[in-house]
Structure 1
Amino acid sequence: MSETERDTVTILTHNYLDGYTQNISRPFGGGLERYVHALCQVVTGMGLRPVVYQLSYFGAFDTVYEGVRVRGWTYETDKIAAAFEEMAEAADGLIIYGSCIWHPIRYRPRSIGICHGISWDRHDMTREAKQDVAAIINEAIRQLDRVVSVDSQFLTYCRSVCCYSDPASIILLPNAVDTDWFTPGRGSEAQSKPLRVLFPRRLSYERGVVPMMLLTDAILQEYPNVIIEFAGELVEGTTIAAAFHLWVDAHPNKARIAHRTYSFSEVREAYRNADIAVIPTIFSEGTSLACLEAMSCGLPVVSANVGGLNDIVIDGMNGRLVSPRAQALTEAVRALLDDEDKRLSMSQMARQTALAFDQRKWNEQWRGIIAEQLGRLR
């Protein structure tokens, strides 16, 4: 192994810098992108050189972001596995497959994979499609030395449908939050301000933007002193973007609907100005970074009982855990708006919950995983 290979960790992922809108001067504001960003910081802190290779639908690029080389690779949407194999062929050092583990990729030996949550947990997927995914995941576990799972759902899934000899080959490492940065904000002075309900997610179908819009219709009609903020990325030119803009423009309570996209360093502001967070995911959810950040800022969370959210939210203690349906979510938000004592109690428990997912613990565990794998490579 050359000196470059010994010192390099290459992360392969489908998105990091904003390939959705062609703004490669910044990361896209999603959970995957925040994860990759934090992982690069861990690698740098170990004295190693992180490199990110990502897919790019709009054309190839090669740039540097905060000292990290990021290279975009063109690909065809129906040939993602081939694109990952091409990126791996060009990569140096230890490879970490940061996403797309459910695609039939031929993995480089002695590599690590990450599962950011089960994306095939849809009740309406065909049996054949789910069987195909099971076969692909089983093959991924066979080829990869280690798979890091951000939630217990994937671990349980693998133990249920896959066959592998070493139970330690899948490492449960939940997502984390910087509890020193994400701290409670609104205090007694907030009593005179309108109550604020926050949707801190990418505005996409699987993240529950449609039930959130229906929730907004009901809550704004019933509560004249409530503001609802959509704090997340919206990819213009999509059907969801067109529907969202039409809905806001025609809404009778348009003045109490806010939408803003926050950078990594700014998003704390959204949480600290809110009273309740809503995480209405329909499918494809790991240990939600948005949920952890909201809790670390002392927000009770109304959450759908999907994926890794079940690992964080304890119904009635630090938030509400309900079916991913607009009516159930609306009723849970309504109950918290009506009960200030319950909001305050859940706020305190939410903050305590977040402390168990502190970023420093995550950093230490990832350093150990990378050091061990580099030892195997050498």
Structure 2
Amino acid sequence: MSKRIFIIYEKVFKFSEGNFLTEIGGVQRYLYELSIVLNSEGYDVYVLQFGKEIGVGEISNIKIEQLICGKKQYYNGFHYLKSKYKINDSDIVIWGADTISQKINHKKTLSIQHGIAFDMYSEDSTFKKMLKSFNLIAIYKLYQRYIALKKSKNSNYMVCVDYNYLNWYRTFAIKHNNEMNNITVIPNFTKLFCFEKNKNVNLNICFARRFVQKRGVDTMLNVAEKILKNRTDLNFYFAGDGPEKFKITALQEKYPENIQITKFNQDGTYDFHKKIDIAVVPTLGSEGTSLSLLEAMSCKCAVVTTNIGGLTNVVIDDFNGKIVNPNEKNIYLAIMELINDSEKRGFLSNNAYDTVKSGFNYSLWKKKWIEMVNQVESDEV
């Protein structure tokens, strides 16, 4: 009997006109690469996702099914797979994120924790605005903590992408320290390594993230505008997409020669970053060991980032980057320091490259994941 792994997540691949396509996004890229690794190790990999229509297909020997969304979709999705494929005790079930994991009657289950997602309070709904108006945010935060701890017990094993989560768990789940033996940290990775850096006439600075509040796009816009009021010899690249794009377009209208809006697919990441001198990752919350940060470092960009989540597992201030508090003033000062000090930029960018080459490369990530799956496969839970 062949070895089988079933991965369940909301959406890993884009389904368009009856075909599955790779989807650009941090979690999506992670699960796609993981599926390829597992397939190369002799596993038959099945991905179950959810959408507005039913679909069946295959990419890179990864078998994909899409079901229509519904109530209890993740729980019901597992039982759909169990019925169709006769899942047995030797099969491994991976929840693509701990937030969607379910408690199921199966021996070999694993969930992936992509970074704490409740370290900031976002007023992105009427309900959350109402909680704030009644001073109930503290109670809501306790509820978030309860849910996160509950989710941590849904699987027999957990892989988390940073030590921030592990320390959080250690703090709030004191009675469950024995369970920490089943939590393994496997940081994110990069496959890119820059061998030739573009030489630019003007400095190029980038923000290559999704254009949403928690990624710090508003902060980056304010900083860029403040800098451009006095320095028109700089170029700012905003690469991505999202609901805040209109704000970037407004700034571009004020500085059409200095603000560029672009996007790239996974294959274009290298070509984009090799022309960048300073990469800014001004995250406000909900971050693991960012793929965007690692890719920038691997392409010898001098990086400025914030002391949020798993970013603190990657950057050592003034050694391989600048890491500051997540506010406009500190980010501005860090960027200006690198703009004005070419020697510092070179020192940080070279150390950034060496850091990810040794500690965050794809081969190391692959090796740790293979060891993890072998442990799940061999252990008696």
Q: TM-score, normalised by structure 1?
A: 0.87
The yes-or-no answer on 1:161 pairing with 2:172 is: yes
Partner of residue 218, structure 2 = 210
Structure 1 residues 206-245: aligned runs within 5 Å: 206-232=214-240, 234-235=241-242, 238=243, 240-245=244-249
Q: For residues 22 and 218 of structure 1, what CA distance do their matches in structure 2 show?
A: 45
Q: For residues 60 and 213 of structure 1, what CA distance do their matches in structure 2 show?
A: 40
Q: For residues 137 and 107 of structure 1, what CA distance do their matches in structure 2 show?
A: 17
Partner of residue 111, structure 2 = 113
The structural deviation recorded for 1:173 is 1.0
1:66-100, CA deviations, whole angstroms, 9 ceiling, x for partnerless residues? 33222233325xx5xx221122212343111111x
Structure 1 stretch 87-96 or stretch 307-316: which is displaced more? 87-96
**C-alpha contact (below 8 Å) 1:29/1:202 kept by paired residues:** no
The structural deviation recorded for 1:22 is 9.0
Structure 1 residues 348-367: aligned runs within 5 Å: 348-355=350-357, 356-367=359-370
Partner of residue 140, structure 1 = 151
**C-alpha contact (below 8 Å) 1:185/1:273 kept by paired residues:** no
Q: 1:85 aligned to 75, 81, 103, which one?
A: 75
CA gap 1:269/1:22 in 2 versus in 1, 3 angstroms = farther
Determine helix, strand or coil for the equivalent of 1:49: strand
**C-alpha contact (below 8 Å) 1:17/1:24 kept by paired residues:** no
Q: 1:59 aligned to 9, 30, 53, which one?
A: 53
RMSD after superposition: 2.3
Q: 1:10 aligned to 6, 9, 12, which one?
A: 6
* Structure 2 counterpart of 1:274, one-letter code: I
Partner of residue 138, structure 2 = 127
Determine helix, strand or coil for the equivalent of 1:69: strand
Partner of residue 292, structure 1 = 294
Q: Which runs of 5+ in 1 are unaligned?
A: none
The structural deviation recorded for 1:141 is 2.9
Partner of residue 70, structure 1 = 64
Structure 1 residues 339-354: aligned runs within 5 Å: 339-354=341-356
Aligned residues: 356
Partner of residue 37, structure 1 = 32
The structural deviation recorded for 1:29 is 2.0
CA gap 1:15/1:326 in 2 versus in 1, 3 angstroms = farther
Q: For residues 19 and 164 of structure 2, what CA distance do their matches in structure 1 show?
A: 33
Identity %: 24
**C-alpha contact (below 8 Å) 1:88/1:108 kept by paired residues:** no
Q: For residues 209 and 152 of structure 2, what CA distance do their matches in structure 1 show?
A: 30
The yes-or-no answer on 1:177 pairing with 2:203 is: no
The structural deviation recorded for 1:209 is 1.3
Partner of residue 43, structure 2 = 48
Determine helix, strand or coil for the equivalent of 1:86: helix
The structural deviation recorded for 1:344 is 0.5
Partner of residue 376, structure 2 = 373
Q: For residues 230 and 152 of structure 2, what CA distance do their matches in structure 1 show?
A: 50
Q: TM-score, normalised by structure 2?
A: 0.86
Determine helix, strand or coil for the equivalent of 1:273: coil
**C-alpha contact (below 8 Å) 1:211/1:326 kept by paired residues:** yes
**C-alpha contact (below 8 Å) 1:29/1:262 kept by paired residues:** no
Q: For residues 184 and 140 of structure 2, what CA distance do their matches in structure 1 show?
A: 26
Determine helix, strand or coil for the equivalent of 1:50: strand
CA gap 1:214/1:72 in 2 versus in 1, 3 angstroms = farther
Q: Which runs of 5+ in 2 are unaligned?
A: 82-86, 123-127, 129-136
Q: For residues 317 and 345 of structure 1, what CA distance do their matches in structure 2 show?
A: 8
1:207-229, CA deviations, whole angstroms, 9 ceiling, x for partnerless residues? 11111111221222322121111
Q: 1:26 aligned to 21, 30, 33, which one?
A: 21
Partner of residue 325, structure 1 = 327
**C-alpha contact (below 8 Å) 2:204/2:237 kept by paired residues:** yes
The yes-or-no answer on 1:301 pairing with 2:291 is: no
Determine helix, strand or coil for the equivalent of 1:53: strand
The structural deviation recorded for 1:104 is 7.2
**C-alpha contact (below 8 Å) 1:115/1:149 kept by paired residues:** yes
CA gap 1:30/1:286 in 2 versus in 1, 3 angstroms = same
**C-alpha contact (below 8 Å) 2:278/2:301 kept by paired residues:** yes
Partner of residue 284, structure 2 = 282
**C-alpha contact (below 8 Å) 2:74/2:100 kept by paired residues:** no
Q: For residues 292 and 193 of structure 2, what CA distance do their matches in structure 1 show?
A: 11
Structure 1 stretch 297-306 or stretch 211-220: which is displaced more? 211-220
1:279-315, CA deviations, whole angstroms, 9 ceiling, x for partnerless residues? 0111110011111111111111100111100111111
Determine helix, strand or coil for the equivalent of 1:120: coil
**C-alpha contact (below 8 Å) 1:113/1:146 kept by paired residues:** yes
Q: For residues 67 and 257 of structure 1, what CA distance do their matches in structure 2 show?
A: 41
**C-alpha contact (below 8 Å) 2:193/2:299 kept by paired residues:** yes
Runs of 4+ in structure 1 over 4 Å off:
21-25
The structural deviation recorded for 1:332 is 1.0
1:217-262, CA deviations, whole angstroms, 9 ceiling, x for partnerless residues? 1222322121111122x14xx4x244444x245x321232222221
